[in-house]
Amino acid sequence: MDTIHYISSELLTLEIVNDILSQGKKLALSEEARANIIKCRAYLDNKMQDNDKPIYGINTGFGSLYNIKISNNDLSKLQENLVKSHACGTGNEVPEEVVKIMLLLKIQSLSYGHSGVQLITVERLIDFYNNDIFPVVYQLGSLGASGDLAPLAHLSLPLLGEGEVYSDGFRQPASKVLNKMGWEPIVLQSKEGLALLNGTQFMSAYGVHVLLKAIKYSYLADVIGAVSLEGFDGRIEPFNEHIHIIRPHKGQIVTARRFNELLEDSEIIAQPKKHVQDPYSFRCIPQVHGATKDTIDYVKKVFKTEINSVTDNPNIFIESDEIISGGNFHGQPLALALDFLGIALAELGSISERRTYQLISGLRGLPPFLVSNPGLNSGFMIPQYTAAGIVSQNKQLATPASVDSIVSSNGQEDHVSMGANAATKTLRIMENLERILAIELMNASQAIEFRRPLRSGEFLEMFIKLYREEVPLVSEDRILHYDIETTIAFLNNLQLDDAVIE
């Protein structure tokens, strides 16, 4: 297996990113990328030698200070000052796995030869990635326009020997790690600070991270929902393909087909039913789960475009001999997509909690709260409270961030996307969904035991057996917090087939 991923102009897909991360691949520049970076930097150096005209961000101030011309003697200092002054992040630290993706995506964006950075700058970012040296970045500070300025400033500080990093499992000064590795701090040249700070890699990294989780948990929502359907003695008819062919949303069709596969040869689903219909939380699984699948597909397309884009400013076009200031750093496409994804994930949690509620209600031959001797035992009464509280929080978090904008930089930056807030809260929704589905699995796996000796389909029985090795059946009251946490860990540790990611 190839242990190196070569940065190039070939499309970077979500599947490739997942492969890089899951296989622990190192990064290296392709010859094409090296040539692009060197050629663009040489063009900019030559351009600046004979140029007295102001070019935004290269020999001018930034934001509303764009009209202030900077001496050629101060261009390096200008870029260094930019990185330091913009490192104003605060709040919780960005998870290490997201910082790793930020490095990957920043390297990719700088490799196209439209940013004017030095080759050594990109190579140092690759050194950080390959040696698991992760800058300390904070979640709060970006408006999602002009790029993710504050987070990317913190990502870039260690290039200068400033800021802090995680290395060898410890948080420590970047200067100490650079000294240990024998690396000199980078001396930024004209435009480099702006190239590093302008960009959408904070939002993009969060989006990629959440999408990889969302794809997995969309699948697991189907599997867990199928266990719930069996535990509730539900009907198979709502998953009949004829229903979905006449309303052919892709996600709906895929969900129905998956349930038929999961329930194939199930003795429970095949037994005669006393009830004519199931509640919506069971009967409408194809429609609800399917809509989330379609949302994920849409958001994947947005992020596939973004992670293969140049998002700093200004952009350098050697062929046409132009340096053009525009707005590719504006995060509106990502902000809208992240809000959409957050809403869709919140709905997976909402319908999951409703299935949990039905399972504990003492219906269809199930004991109240899924426990023997109810009354003496409260059984699964309170996990549903927990799920309901989390679902309510997700509804609050699903309020779109992208509809907000606050003027900044003395009115020069008068519309922003707030995509960074959309990114961080969508990850919170995703993590909450993991907890909600874990609680549903606890209830569903308990309920299905009351259908014995009948058995479900082969795959579901194997899935339940694996789960039971981690979380035993509840025969009398115990501290269920530990069961919830163990179930979350069980789901997180499951490795899905690559076909599910695709």
CATH number of the CATH domain containing 229: 1.20.200.10
* Short-list 347, 244, 349, 344, CA closest to 295: 344
CATH number at residue 119: 1.10.275.10
Confidence of residue 430 (pLDDT cuts 50, 70, 90): very high
- Higher-confidence residue of 147 and 106: namely 106
For 8-21, the pLDDT digits (tens) are 999 999 999 999 99
Using the predicted structure, report yes or no on whether residue 141 has a pLDDT greater than 80: yes
| C-alpha span between 322 and 317 (Å, rounded) | 5
Over residues 435-456, the mean pLDDT reads 97
> Which tokens hold the place of 50?
């004979």
One domain, residues 224 and 176: no
Q: Which residue has the tokens 């429970």?
A: 268
Q: How far is CA 406 from CA 80, 198, 422, in A?
A: 27, 18, 15
- pLDDT tops 60 at residue 502: no
Cα–Cα distance for residue pair 145/417, rounded to 1 Å: 6
What angle do helix axes 419-448 and 332-359 make, rounded to 10 degrees?
20
| Amino acid code (one letter) for 430 | M
Q: What is the pLDDT of residues 317-364, one digit of tens each?
A: 999 999 998 999 999 999 999 999 999 999 999 999 999 999 999 999
pLDDT at site 353: 98
pLDDT at 501: 52
Q: What is the DSSP string of 168-193?
A: TTEEEEHHHHHHHHT-PPP---TTHH
Q: Which of 199, 229, 244 is the last residue of a domain?
A: 199
Residues 299 and 195 in one domain: no
Residue among 352, 373, 375 nearest 443 (CA): 352
Give pLDDT, residue 413: 80
Residues 251, 293, single domain; the answer is: yes
CB 174 within 8 A of CB 161: yes
Q: Is residue 316 part of a domain?
A: no
**Amino acid making up residue 168:** D
Residues acting as catalytic residues: 56
Asked if 91 and 152 count as a contact pair (C-beta separation under 8 A), the reply is: no
Last residue of a domain, one of 199, 225, 241: 199
Give pLDDT, residue 398. 97
Dihedral angle of Cα 167, 171, 173, 177, to the nearest 10 degrees: -10
**204 has a pLDDT exceeding 90:** yes
Range 156-165 average pLDDT: 98
Same domain, 171 and 234: no
Do 32 and 106 share a structural domain? yes
Question: Of 169, 199, 229, which marks where a domain is finished?
Answer: 199
Q: What residues have CB less than 8 Å from 195, skipping those under 6 apart? A: 110, 115, 116, 117, 312
* Range scoring the smallest mean pLDDT among 117-121, 158-162, 404-408, 439-443: 404-408
**Enclosing domain of residue 65:** 4-199
Residue 164, beta-bridge partner list = 173
% the chain with pLDDT above 90: 86
Question: Are 174 and 255 in the same domain?
Answer: no
Q: Give the Cβ contact number of residue 465 at 10 Å.
A: 10
**Which of the two residues, 474 and 410, has the higher pLDDT score?**
474
State the pLDDT at residue 329. 93
| Tokens read off for 253 | 């069709």
Q: How far apart are CA 186 and CA 76, in angstroms?
A: 11
Asked if residue 191 and residue 141 are part of one domain, the reply reads yes
Number of domains in the chain: 2
Whether 282 is covered by a domain: the verdict is yes
139 and 215 inside one domain: no
- What would the pLDDT profile of 59-102 be if each residue is shown by its tens digit? 776 655 656 666 677 778 888 999 999 999 999 999 999 999 99
| Residue spans of beta strands (DSSP E) within 392-456 | none
| Positive or negative torsion for Cα 394, 395, 400, 404 | negative
User: Residue 65 has what pLDDT?
Assistant: 62
Q: Of all residues in the chain, what percent are helix, strand and coil, respectively (each to 5)? A: 60, 10, 35
Q: For residues 261-281, give the mean pLDDT.
A: 96
**Residue 499 pLDDT class (50, 70, 90 cuts):** low
Q: What's residue 454's pLDDT?
A: 97
Q: How far apart are CA 300 and CA 232, in angstroms?
A: 34
| Domain co-membership, 332 together with 406 | yes
What's the Cα-to-Cα distance from 472 to each of 458, 481, 487, rounded to whole Å? 20, 14, 11
Q: Are residues 30 and 168 in the same domain?
A: yes
Which residues, including other chains, have CB under 8 Å from residue 456's CB and lie 6 or more apart? 226, 227, 230, 263, 266, 267, 268, 269, 448, 464
The burial of 326, by beta-carbon neighbours within 10 Å (0-12 exposed, 13-18 middle, 19 or more buried), is given as exposed
Specify if 89 maps to a domain.
yes
Q: Are residues 481 and 401 in the same domain?
A: yes
Domain-located, residue 444: yes
Mean pLDDT for the stretch of residues 122-149: 96
Residue 51: is its pLDDT beyond 80? no
**CB neighbour list of residue 56: distance below 8 Å, 6 or more residues apart:** 66, 313, 314, 325
Based on the domain organization, do 187 and 256 belong to the same domain?
no
In a domain, 410, yes or no: yes
What is the rounded average pLDDT of the residues 372-379?
A: 89
